[in-house]
Structure 1
Amino acid sequence: MFPRTPRRRQGRRLSTRILASQVAILAVTSVIGFILFAWAQRAQLDNEYEQRALSIAQVAAGDPQIREGMTDPASGSLVQATAERIAHSAGASYVVVIDLNGIRHSHPVIGLVGRRVAEPIVVLDGKGHVGIDQGATGRSANGKAPLLGPSGGVIGEVSVGIPENNAAGKLWRELPTFALYAGIALAVGCAASYALARQLKRSTFGLELEEIAGLLQDREAMLHGIREGVIAFDPRGRITLVNDEARRLLQIDTALGLQPKEVLPEGRLRDALDGTLTGNDLTVLTDRYCLVVNRMPVGLHGRELGAVVTVRDRTEMVGLLRELDSVRGLTDALRAQQHEFANRMHILAGLLDLGEHEAALEYAVESAGAEPALTESVRQRVGNPLMVGLIVAKSTVAAERGVRITLTEESQFGEQPPHLRGLLTIVGNLLDNAVDAAVSEAAAPGAAHVRLSLLETRSAITVQVADSGPGVPSEAVESIFEDGWSTRPDRGTARRGLGLALVNRLVQHHGGTITVSRGAGAVFTVTLPLYDSDPAPAAQIAKANLFELAALGDDRW
């Protein structure tokens, strides 16, 4: 179903591959971060030197000698001398003073003094301006300040430049420190990556990536290919896995991440899944299936990983086992009847040998009329032949076990009653339960008896079965109809604890009621309306399967 991925790179362990990948990522990000940081630092240094150049320009614009030289043409040489002095003392590459006509009055290149600049005057707004200047002295951080006259008006511009190599030199002096920080960060990241790789290795229980992928493929192929339901739970009881068979048997769809109480109704099935019920091979009866549920806690290396629940469909198998057990019971009864018939033949042969012909005739007539009398007695009150056959067969088998089944005088049952198939299952299971209870309590031969009442009226059908057994314990009255409840161990191949649960589900399906008495001598009373009131949709869908299971045998409680 899932092709197995061939394993590659067997020589490199998972932790090594994770560490190498993390180190490569950290190295690349460190280099990129270092470059970006250097770029940002260079931009910051440029801005810093631009502001420094602007400050020098503002100082020069406020110098009295420069202002005097710009207002008095006779003092023109004073401007050049003062600008050179300021540039030298401030470490600037140039201090250029320009009038409003764009004529230079100072410049580090003497030949440019008196010549017009190509750029327009930008300080006419009375504010300072900064930028990068690519002038005659090379690339510089530039600051321009307005030069004010005596009246406060702008009479010129002072432009100051600081060589770019100053900013570059400072940046190169700072880069080793940045590189050290990046190296420390890379080392810490490598150590953290190594610890993470070790932790991931422990989390995967030493498995390599190819092994994990292979296990996933095998798990998917196995879980969805087996004919057994599998449900996995995490340590908090949430469903983490449901295979296809489990979805079919439990009739659930979206369940991942949820708890059993969120996807299943209250009952024995939910208790078996969440661990409330403990034990092996828990039998659970649903509307459609007879299931066997097992829950197993899962742990690895001392860690609790949750639990795995397996669900097996035993509907057909349980039905066959119950049918086989019924056949064995009938075989035992026939064997006993054979011995009884042989005894009767021996008695007749003895009477004839003694010449007691009249006594032999009377004994033969009495023996021959016993079974027809029982059948006729049942036929007078029960019109349906299937129900008659069931009662007579159960009476015969019970008689071989020393239990007498009697049909009450007030019983009245029609030829074509509603719910016939369900009634056959209900009566058969209740009679079998009653016979078992009566046999267990019988103190003397012939003392055990079971009384059956069938009454069909215009509105309902009432079935009542009473036995001479010990009765139902008071503390068990509430749980007696739960699947799996039983007072006796399994008999032969038949699984106990399903009969009364099945009867209860049939009664609920038809909108009826079932009650049981307390104290010695259990009395079960079932009342079914002539027509189903409002059967559940799920029960309607499951009707055929459930009745097929019910008709296959005689489960006991």
Structure 2
Amino acid sequence: MFPGMPKSALFPRMRFTRQVLLLQIGVVALVVGLGVGLFSGLLRSALANQYGERALAVAKSVATDPVVIEGAAARQQGGALQQRSQAVQLRTDALFVVITDDEGIRLAHPTPDAIGQPVSTSPAEALAGNDVTTQYDDGTLGPSVRSKTPIRQGDRVVGEVSVGYKIGELTGDFNRLLILTLAFGGGALLLGVGASALLNRRLRRVTHGLEPHELTELLYEREAVLHGIGEGVLALDGQQRVSVRNDEAERLLDTELPVGAPMAELELSPRVHKAVAEGVPVDNLLAVAGNRVLVVNSRAVHRDDRPLGTVLTFRDRTDLDTLTRELDGIRSLSDGLRAQRHEFANRLHTLSGLLQLGHHAEAEEYLQTLTETTAGRPHALGDSVADPYLQALLVAKTEQAQEKGMELKLADDSWVPTTVTDPIAAGTVIGNLVDNALHAARMSPRRPASVEVALLADGTTLHVSVVDSGSGVAEELRGTLFDEGVSSKIAPGHGLGLALARQAARARGGDVWLADPGGPSSGALFVAKLPELLVEAAE
């Protein structure tokens, strides 16, 4: 190794797909090799048994010949026995056909000079009356596969017949069959290598050429990103099924998002379903989920011009929306106070001018008029509403209505003797209903434009009704009035007020509904029921 050169530069790590390919090729080669070896052994054994059975059949045919039986019993050497053995040898292509007496002395042999001599292999088993099959021996005529059988005359063994075939004949047949086996094994090996190559190519395409350690790193990075960000993430595959989501998405949407669930079965905002169905990018779409206002962004994902699915992100804007509504209330109240300050300053200037000019009687009369006008104003729209939050909300909305040339009235039969337990929920419901009523009254040609609010306590339940002097709700909007994005206002960004009001009411077990859509002669009437919103009144 050269100094300073890392070891991996000389021995680069082999790609995983190549390792799999080589491993598969090795396994296929090993299996084919073992199969060929096992088959070769079984084939050789089967051929040997076949030749042995063949030799035994020839030996039995010779041993049952009456001439052979009489000659062996008489221990006749050569002669008829020699002729019979040579005829059978020529007819069966055997290496030898040997006949012996009951002492193992050759009575017939392919080599005439060997007649009268003992056999080269032990005849004991055959002379004991047993058949000997498939025995490999190396006799005077060379190695062979031989079988032996006894010659019986009645119940007495008078000799034996031994028939053998050349090992070369067995080897030739074996080699021919082995060549066919090797050709089949080679074809199987090539087929296995081709299949392994195709599988390796498929693996590279599916993993986009990434190594296992790279896939592991991507998994860790994905988990870290999904669960480390403060936004909700929901990914859908090409069939609009949930493929990836984080815990923040389930928390913000206030529903479970099981992987594999179809998008159509999820309880999400209609706006979100519509954005996904249309398949167009969505930026900063406002949607309601439970008591939260979410900002939704949607992007379609493609790779190599192939659609992979859609990714949605959710940001919680509830706190910002609440602060915005509170800021609007404070701004309305401050505008009202500023108007009162200007009015009060003008009155003081008038009073100062009368005093400076010496019109003391006129100044006294003017001051008396101011005192009576101020005293005659109901404190916080009347003493029938004891809660300071409701008073402040109604005062702010009253000043807002007056600035726009409208009138906001509290119904005479209103009665709330206790305080509210959740000012935010009360402000969300009442504020949105009043804002919509003021808008409807201002846009209607009917004058004077006015809104009447009725608040009535029933134990701990607060009943709210808001009626305006507008032209009523259009018939095409009545069925979808409380859906997100449905609004009669032209400017974008509206259509959440009534949806938020209903969500806030239903979160407490109550509801908001359109009691009377109104029409040409009367405005719309909205009613809300808010259980457990008031402190229980003392007896």
Shorter-chain TM band:
0.7 to 0.9
The alpha carbon displacement at 1:450 in A equals 0.5
Answer with 1 or 2: which has the greater Rg. Answer: 2
Alpha-carbon separation, structure 2, partners of 1:7 and 1:287: 59
Is the Cα–Cα contact under 8 Å of residues 411 and 454 in structure 2 kept in the other structure?
A: yes
Q: Which residue of 2 aligns with 1:62?
A: 61
Alignment of 1:231-270 (within 5 A): 231-251=234-254, 255-261=258-264, 264-265=266-267, 267-268=269-270
1:471 aligns with 2:469: no
C-alpha change, 1:103 and 1:235, in structure 2 (3 Å) is: farther
Alpha-carbon separation, structure 1, partners of 2:137 and 2:373: 133
Is the Cα–Cα contact under 8 Å of residues 148 and 163 in structure 2 kept in the other structure?
A: yes
Alignment of 1:436-447 (within 5 A): 436-441=439-444, 447=448
C-alpha change, 1:252 and 1:133, in structure 2 (3 Å) is: farther
The alpha carbon displacement at 1:518 in A equals 1.8
Is the Cα–Cα contact under 8 Å of residues 275 and 295 in structure 1 kept in the other structure?
A: no
The alpha carbon displacement at 1:40 in A equals 0.8
Secondary structure in 1 matching 2:228: coil
C-alpha change, 1:18 and 1:84, in structure 2 (3 Å) is: farther
Alpha-carbon separation, structure 2, partners of 1:252 and 1:158: 94
C-alpha change, 1:35 and 1:456, in structure 2 (3 Å) is: closer
Is the Cα–Cα contact under 8 Å of residues 238 and 256 in structure 1 kept in the other structure?
A: yes
Instruction: Structure 1: state its 5+ residue gaps.
Output: 1-5, 533-557
Alpha-carbon separation, structure 1, partners of 2:157 and 2:473: 116
Secondary structure in 1 matching 2:230: coil
Is the Cα–Cα contact under 8 Å of residues 54 and 145 in structure 1 kept in the other structure?
A: no
Amino acid at match of 2:463: T
Q: Which residue of 1 aligns with 2:496?
A: 498
Q: Which residue of 2 aligns with 1:410?
A: 413
Alignment of 1:206-355 (within 5 A): 207=210, 211-251=214-254, 255-261=258-264, 264-265=266-267, 267-268=269-270, 271=273, 275=277, 279-287=282-290, 289-349=292-352, 351-352=354-355
Q: Deviations over 1:272-307 (max 9, x none)?
A: 685469643232333354322222110011111111
C-alpha change, 1:86 and 1:462, in structure 2 (3 Å) is: same
Select which of 376, 382, 387 maps to 2:385. 382
Alpha-carbon separation, structure 1, partners of 2:126 and 2:416: 121
Q: Which residue of 1 aligns with 2:394?
A: 391
Quick check: 299-308 or 517-526, which moved more? Answer: 517-526
Alpha-carbon separation, structure 2, partners of 1:275 and 1:29: 49
Q: Which residue of 2 aligns with 1:524?
A: 526
Q: Deviations over 1:164-202 (max 9, x none)?
A: 443333333454554445445545555555555555444
Secondary structure in 2 matching 1:62: helix
Alpha-carbon separation, structure 1, partners of 2:503 and 2:129: 99
Alpha-carbon separation, structure 1, partners of 2:397 and 2:170: 111
Q: Which residue of 2 aligns with 1:535?
A: none
The alpha carbon displacement at 1:361 in A equals 4.3
Is the Cα–Cα contact under 8 Å of residues 269 and 287 in structure 2 kept in the other structure?
A: no
Alpha-carbon separation, structure 1, partners of 2:511 and 2:27: 77
Q: Which residue of 1 aligns with 2:452?
A: 451
Alpha-carbon separation, structure 1, partners of 2:120 and 2:424: 124
Q: Which residue of 2 aligns with 1:117?
A: 123
Amino acid at match of 2:503: R
Amino acid at match of 1:40: F
C-alpha change, 1:351 and 1:57, in structure 2 (3 Å) is: same
Q: Deviations over 1:34-75 (max 9, x none)?
A: 452243144224313422432343244234874432245226
Q: Which residue of 1 aligns with 2:35?
A: 36
Alignment of 1:530-541 (within 5 A): none
Q: Which residue of 2 aligns with 1:428?
A: 431
Name the count of aligned residue pairs.
Answer: 516
The alpha carbon displacement at 1:259 in A equals 2.4
Alignment of 1:2-17 (within 5 A): none
Amino acid at match of 1:22: L
Alpha-carbon separation, structure 2, partners of 1:511 and 1:440: 33
Secondary structure in 1 matching 2:283: coil
Alpha-carbon separation, structure 1, partners of 2:363 and 2:279: 62
Is the Cα–Cα contact under 8 Å of residues 146 and 154 in structure 1 kept in the other structure?
A: yes
C-alpha change, 1:433 and 1:335, in structure 2 (3 Å) is: same
Alpha-carbon separation, structure 2, partners of 1:479 and 1:306: 30
Amino acid at match of 1:505: Q
Is the Cα–Cα contact under 8 Å of residues 46 and 167 in structure 1 kept in the other structure?
A: no
1:482 aligns with 2:483: yes
Alpha-carbon separation, structure 1, partners of 2:50 and 2:529: 102
C-alpha change, 1:404 and 1:254, in structure 2 (3 Å) is: closer
Is the Cα–Cα contact under 8 Å of residues 25 and 196 in structure 2 kept in the other structure?
A: no
Question: What root-mean-square deviation, in Å, do the aligned CA atoms of Structure 1 and Structure 2 show?
Answer: 4.4
Secondary structure in 2 matching 1:112: coil
Instruction: Structure 2: state its 5+ residue gaps.
Output: 1-5, 535-539
Amino acid at match of 2:35: L
Alpha-carbon separation, structure 2, partners of 1:7 and 1:222: 34
Quick check: 47-56 or 98-107, which moved more? Answer: 98-107
C-alpha change, 1:289 and 1:178, in structure 2 (3 Å) is: same
The alpha carbon displacement at 1:225 in A equals 1.9
Q: Which residue of 2 aligns with 1:26?
A: 25
Secondary structure in 1 matching 2:378: helix
Identity %: 33
